[in-house]
Amino acid sequence: MRKFILLASAALLASCTGGGPADLHKEPNVELIQDMMESPAIKAQDFDTFNREQSASRLPPEGTVPVGFAKYPYHLQPDLGAKQKNPFDGKMTPEVLELGRTKYETYCAVCHGYEGKGDGPVSVKMSVKPPSLLTDKIAVTYTDGHIFHVITDGQGVMSSYAYQLVNPNDRWAIVNYVRSLQKLGRGASAKPEKK
């Protein structure tokens, strides 16, 4: 009797694997627990099976914020944004400038040019040209906070870069790097004296 049970369970096991290793990928397994084979998962790009008008990928409930995310408080308020203090104010150290250069050359130079002249490779194709960052307007009138605001919130046809440059320090480092480009491109008078 015991022998029979052993044989029977061996046969059952063999049927589970579809006969032998060679057939493993040709035959579907015996579905012992069907729910696990046919899972109700739907692809994010699919439609909702309960409502074909709706996408399968649900929106988070209103007001949801990612952990660690601080909402930019000066959205569409450049005057207030301009008053923010640069944590790297006057810190033109190799570390800050190198961080700023890497980020600037990755995210800004395509439009504003490697030297900040507004002549990046993409600018040729744009109808609204990216402005030079070396003009009086930006070098003298714009505070560090104002440049930070434009990077964070966007301006006109330039979109926000806060999602690519998630860490605000990266954006402030870009501000310092832009100041260094202004010094190079305009001579020593680039940054207004501290009041």
Using rule CB under 6 A, residue 56 touches ligand HEC? no
Least Cα distance to 88 among 147, 158, 19, 11 occurs for: 147
Q: Determine contact, residues 73/145, Cβ cutoff 8 Å.
A: no
Give the count of beta carbons closer than 10 Å to the beta carbon of residue 167.
Answer: 11
Using rule CB under 6 A, residue 107 touches ligand HEC? yes
Using rule CB under 6 A, residue 138 touches ligand HEC? yes
Measured from the CB atom, is 48 or 136 closer to ligand HEC? 136
DSSP string, 102-148: HHHHHHTHHHH-TTSSS--TTGGG-SSPPPPSSSHIIIIIS-HHHHH
Using rule CB under 6 A, residue 108 touches ligand HEC? yes
In this chain, which of 81, 100, 113, 131 binds ligand HEC, going by CB under 6 A? Answer: 131
Give the count of beta carbons closer than 10 Å to the beta carbon of residue 100.
Answer: 26
Using rule CB under 6 A, residue 157 touches ligand HEC? yes
Using rule CB under 6 A, residue 145 touches ligand HEC? no
Using rule CB under 6 A, residue 147 touches ligand HEC? yes
**Binding-site ranges for ligand HEC (CB under 6 A):** 107-108, 110-112, 122, 128, 130-131, 133, 137-138, 147, 150-151, 155-158, 161, 174, 178
